[in-house]
Structure 1
Amino acid sequence: MHSTHRPHIGLGLPVDDPALLPAWARRADALPFSTLGLLDRLVYDNPEPLITLASLAGATSRIRLQTEVLIAPVHNTALLAKQTATLDRLSDGRFTLGIGVGGRADDCLAAGIDLHRRGRRLDEQMTLLRRTWDGEPYGRDVGPIGPRPATPGGPRVLFGGFAPAALERVGRFGDGFLGAALPAAHMSGLFRQVEAVWRKYDRPGRPRLVAQASVALGPDDTVQRARRNLRDYYAFTGRAEYMAEGLLTTAREIRAAVDAFRDIGADEVVLYCWTSDPDQVDRLADAVF
């Protein structure tokens, strides 16, 4: 199902200087960007995404706020249900919960959860989140957990990941898929698999398909710092150099990537900024709008 419409363009927020994020958010809100995305890790020097997005909800009026992706298994499920519903209420329904299992042993150790059970834990969490957002009792001997989200049935949920189980969750629990760290030629296969899973579960309509690309636009020091941050963030994967090399650093490269994602059916492309030079917001707007 290939798309000809221009995808929405979101902005992935840098995490190296949290104090600058309200300024980023206000700039993006005044431009045609569709979404502000924020990554999640526990054992890392990044701001906690739900708290940060709540702050940015107050700094903006139009743009959507999205976790990309929240590592749900390291979160307490009842508290996560309450936090996400609260954020959806505070933002007047502008919140999207991008969610995944994560892959870092240190995050799981710090949270006190079993690395090898995190997929099963996420499945259990999704059942509880959906139930809570619907206003039902949380469990046996436990009543409902408020507040009710602004969005009926709870915020939009996108699953990130590459494993078959991650794609399967889109059909079982989700509203769509968030694909990161792959060029369009490789992402296309995942998008088609997600659509097949959607049909398998007999879901109405179609899944929302979101692609993410790493970008840095600006002077050489902005680009070099972004590459360093990317290497640091992806060091545990063994693919850090590949990720740093894949950074898009010119307006032409970024436009070509957006067009390629459009051609495989992306509803939205989130341009992930890896360093906190706020002038990138305007440079990126000039490049894509």
Structure 2
Amino acid sequence: MNIGIGLPIGDPTTLLTWARHADAGPFSTLGLLDRLVYDNPEPLVALSVLAGATSRIRVQTEVLLAPLRDTALLAKQAATLDRMTGGRLVLGLGIGGRDDDHRATGTDPRTRGRRLDEQMEVMRRLWSGEPYGEGVGPIGPTPARPGGPEVLFGGFKPAALERVARWGDGFLAAAPPSWAGGLFDTVRGFWQQYGRDGEPRLVAQVNVALGPQDVIDDARTAMHAYYTFTGMADRMVAGMLTTPAEIQEAITAFTDLGADEVMLYCYGLDPAQVDRLADIL
């Protein structure tokens, strides 16, 4: 089982410390979420900085809201980061759930799923070295990974789960084990339906805070603020894991479900959490 760290967004200046500690530890991946109308760092820019400060750990968008972005430019940015990190980029993609993000970019939230499918068709072609279109040549650089960086899709609805088999390499499940098992099975079913070889990569995400009470309180406050728009912030914060036993139990449960990786997402700013989490693995 690979274990990754989801990075807090409250203070971008702390992220280099988080990244260096994680790179020196037993962790596989650094993840960073995406929003536009929020006080968070832009993930591709931030992960580029973190990739340059680390040597082996993967960097993952968790998830990047692709419909907000220009397709050709996103393809070039992702290929550049993948090439310059030697294939360490994992491109987690989703459609987003906030109308204000779409209003800020002039995109239509009603067509965001269809737009993401169209974007993937274009990006897969560009990453394979094909021209953009009639009269427009290829857009480089060539990614380190043939066909482009590894792509994971997040989401819960059937269309999002089917997208994994149509365009992706795996699935990112931001759900507890009791719910994730059914999502994993649905993704596997679509994978077989589309005749894909091998198995989809399954990545789980759990929210954690480990340390003194002030660290846990900081994490809960930040997570509540982030999810207030859902109307379910209290319930989501209540599900945060705050003890070694809870975190180990979740990792075991996801292992039993066949997950390939568990991302331990941290909202609290204290970078010493990286070392505390390393100690319990």
TM range (shorter): over 0.9
Alignment of 1:89-100 (within 5 A): 89-100=83-94
Q: Work out the CA distance in 2 between the residues paired with 1:245 and 1:163.
A: 23
| 8 A contact 2:218–2:269 mirrored in 1 | no
**Partner of residue 58, structure 1:** 52
Q: Work out the CA distance in 2 between the residues paired with 1:125 and 1:235.
A: 30
Q: Secondary structure at the match of 2:237?
A: helix
Q: In the alignment, is residue 194 of structure 1 matched against residue 187 of structure 2? A: yes
| CA displacement 1:256-279 (0-9 Å, x = unmatched) | 000011111110000000011010
**Partner of residue 206, structure 1:** 199
Deviation at 1:287, TM superposition (A): 1.4
Q: 1:129 aligns with which of 123, 134, 137?
A: 123
Q: Work out the CA distance in 1 between the residues paired with 2:149 and 2:190.
A: 21
Q: 2:218 aligns with which of 220, 225, 229?
A: 225
Q: Which runs of 5+ in 2 are unaligned?
A: none
Q: In the alignment, is residue 253 of structure 1 matched against residue 246 of structure 2? A: yes
Q: Which runs of 5+ in 1 are unaligned?
A: 1-6
Deviation at 1:126, TM superposition (A): 0.3
**Partner of residue 36, structure 1:** 30
Alignment of 1:1-289 (within 5 A): 7-180=1-174, 182-288=175-281
TM-score, structure 1 normalization? 0.96
Q: Secondary structure at the match of 1:234?
A: helix
Q: Which runs of 4+ in 1 moved over 4 A?
A: none
| 8 A contact 2:208–2:265 mirrored in 1 | yes
How many residues get paired?
281
Deviation at 1:171, TM superposition (A): 0.6
Q: Work out the CA distance in 1 between the residues paired with 2:212 and 2:135.
A: 59
Deviation at 1:161, TM superposition (A): 0.3
Deviation at 1:185, TM superposition (A): 1.2
Q: Secondary structure at the match of 2:173?
A: strand
Q: Which amino acid aligns with 2:155?
A: G
Q: Secondary structure at the match of 1:69?
A: strand
| 8 A contact 2:79–2:142 mirrored in 1 | yes
**Partner of residue 4, structure 1:** none
